[in-house]
Amino acid sequence: MHLYFYAANPSQQAVQYCENINELDGIPECIELKAGEKLSTYSTQPVAGEGVFLLFAADIADIEYLQRFSEYLQDFLVILVLGNSDLSLLNKCYGLCPRFVCQGEADFSLLNQVLLKIFAV
């Protein structure tokens, strides 16, 4: 099983988050997909087995952008990482059918626990 990281828009916050994920023990290396590229371009590439997509969204515009590609994420476990604590983001994000929603660095230890459980199976 693979772990993918995708940010709707390139930002220093997203880059740092991906780097922090790669420093975690007990989970596979996080494969960072180029931020802002259409996810549909990745659907044509072979993906070995199932995987987990960490989607990073900083604001509502990012959520709306990601929702356009929800059909390409149906075969993956989706974990949504929100860049801020704006509650309106939560109302929009459930169209992506995330398994887990976390708020950036504030929930990093919870995300670590979730990933450890997913990859322990």
CATH number, domain containing residue 38: 3.40.50.2300
Structural domain total, the chain: 1
Name the strand (E) or helix (H) holding 117: helix 108-120
Domain residue limits at 102: 2-120
pLDDT at 48 over 60: no
- Residue 68 identity (one-letter amino acid): R
Query: Among 90, 79, 71, 24, which residue's Cα sits nearest to residue 53?
Result: 79
Confidence band, pLDDT 50/70/90 cuts, at residue 31: confident
Instruction: Give the pTM.
Output: 0.85
Name the strand (E) or helix (H) holding 51: strand 51-57
Instruction: Report how far apart, in Å, the C-alpha atoms of 52 and of each of 85, 106, 107 are.
Output: 23, 20, 18
d(CA 74, CA 62): 18
Residue 54 pLDDT: 92
Residue 46 pLDDT: 42
Residue 47 pLDDT: 55
Q: What is the mean pLDDT of residues 77-94?
A: 83
DSSP string across 58-114: -SHHHHHHHHTTGGGGTTEEEEEEESS--HHHHHHHGGG--SEEEEGGGGHHHHHHH
User: Terminal CA-to-CA distance of the chain, rounded, Å?
Assistant: 10
Residue 79 pLDDT: 93
Residue 44 pLDDT: 44
Q: What integer best gives the mean pLDDT of the chain?
A: 83
d(CA 8, CA 37): 8
Q: What percent of the chain has pLDDT over 70?
A: 89
